Each structure stands twice: as structure tokens, then as C-alpha cells.
Amino acid sequence: MSVYSDYLASASTSLACPNGPVSPSQLLALAKSQVDYILGDNPRATSYMVGDGKNYPQQVHHRASSIVSHRVDPSFVSCRGGYASWFSRKASDPNILTGAVVGGPDAYDNFVDQRDNYEQTEPATYNTAPLVGALTRWSQRLQSAAFGRAARDEESKPANRGQGLIFVEQKVTNSWIAEGKNFYRYSAIVSNRSSKKLKNLKLRILNIHGPLWGLTKSGDDYFFPKWMEVFGAGKTMEFVYIQPASPAQVLVSSYTLV
């Protein structure tokens, strides 16, 4: 639903239903309510993601989760022994399968937290994957929001306001968290807005703190590859870079119009 909501929004349209149109924001709100339900906003106040919150499934239908960790008890556990001695126990899981999403409740919000109740307590990829997709979608939106107004303003800011013929426009195309840091992938589009061909373009890039692709550095200047050193009127070229900060400052150092 979240993907279809984005599609509708990009097409500036709504979903036609028998009782009337449904806007992208309404569809997205419905998707969010489903995620909230899975994570505990339900009549049982139970999160159906293992390890999430204080009230989550304790007897997951999963062999490894039902057996004590080798670090706690290094004793050998055979295949049959794992089932007879561990899987059939009525106690809580000694290994918490953090992040797994179980089958969940029935149509009346009833949920029996027992390991042999595989219909409700078995984790599976088809349970977890859709939720991961939805959470990723909102995670990216939250990261972009946290990035701040200044960074958002920079995304489409021309690199050199003093020269109206050559523009560099930047935008964030992806973001993620690694080792506690926010990282951003930037796309920088260089546009030749003149009526002539552009040659010998030199860029100066300040405050860059990560890898860059699509340009070659020589001294303090950056150049496009030889096979891209000439581009016509109205044409664009792109380079990308990654860094854990706001956009780098891209300046047009010099160029030739022919």
C-alpha cells in the first residue's frame, strides 16, 4: 500500500473506489495503521515482532529459538533431542529471535502464544519482508526530515549563482544508517544552459568527506572523463558522492564555450 501510495502521488491521482476516491495520503495512513497494529497498537497490546517492546511472542515456532545457546550450554543437542527436549517445552524461548514477525492473531484478535501453534507463532519471510519494506520506506522519510531545512535547501541550490550559464543542482537519492551514522548519497547534475557547446569544465568541490564517482581529480580541480569533456547546449552530466554530512559545495571554477 505504501508503494502504491507513492505511485499515486507521483501521478497526481487517487484510487477510484466504489464509495469514492481514496487519496495517496489516506492510503498511506491505512498502511501505517497496519504497521502500528503489528507493532502493538491492537486490542491485545502485543507486538507481533519478536523482541519489540515489552509484550511479544515468547514461544516462537522455531527450532533454533527454542534451544539454548551454545554459549550458555555447549552440550551436544541432536536433531531428535532438540525436538524432544527443547522444542516441545512449554517455557519461553531461551534464544530470542529478534526481529522475526510471527503469523499473528485470528480475525477476532485472539492469539495463543504456544510453540506448537504454528499458524500463529511461526515466523516466516513472507511475514517479515513486507513489514521491512514498509519500515524502510518510513525510515528513509524520517532520515530525510531529520536532515534539516538547511540541507533540503542545498539539494536544489545552484553551485555557482554568479554564472547563469552553467548550473549544478544537487539532491539526496538515498540515505541509510551505518555504525550509528547517517549517510547520504548525493546526485549532482551539471547543466549547460547556454546555446553553445561546453568544453574544459573545471569544478571545485569543497567540504566533501566521502567517495565520489564520475569525476577525476587533478590538484584542487575536478574534471569529467575525456569522453565527456564536451557536451552540447541544453545537455547535462551527472556525478555522485556519499558522505555523512550536508551536501558538498560545488563551484564552477572555469569553462570554455565554443
- Cα 22 to Cα 235: distance, rounded to the nearest angstrom: 39
Neighbours of 190 (CB within 10 A): 25
Catalytic residue among 61, 62, 70, 209: 61
Give the integer Cα–Cα distance in Å for 131 and 250.
Answer: 38
Q: What backbone torsions phi and psi does residue 45 show, to the nearest 5 degrees?
A: 55, 40
Which amino acid is present at 24?
A: P
For residue 61, indicate whether it is catalytic: yes
Contact by Cβ (8 Å): 242, 178? no
> Using alpha carbons only, what angle is made at residue 156 by residues 191 and 32, rounded to the nearest 5 degrees?
130
Three cell numbers written together for 13: 491521482
Per-residue buried b or exposed e for 139-150, using 16+ beta carbons within 10 Å of the residue's own CB = eeeebbeebeee
Pairing of strands 181-192, 166-178: antiparallel
Triad 31, 182, 9: Cα angle to 5°: 35
Whether 94 and 82 have beta carbons less than 8 Å apart is answered as: no
| Cα(249)–Cα(160) distance, integer angstroms | 9
Residues designated catalytic: 61
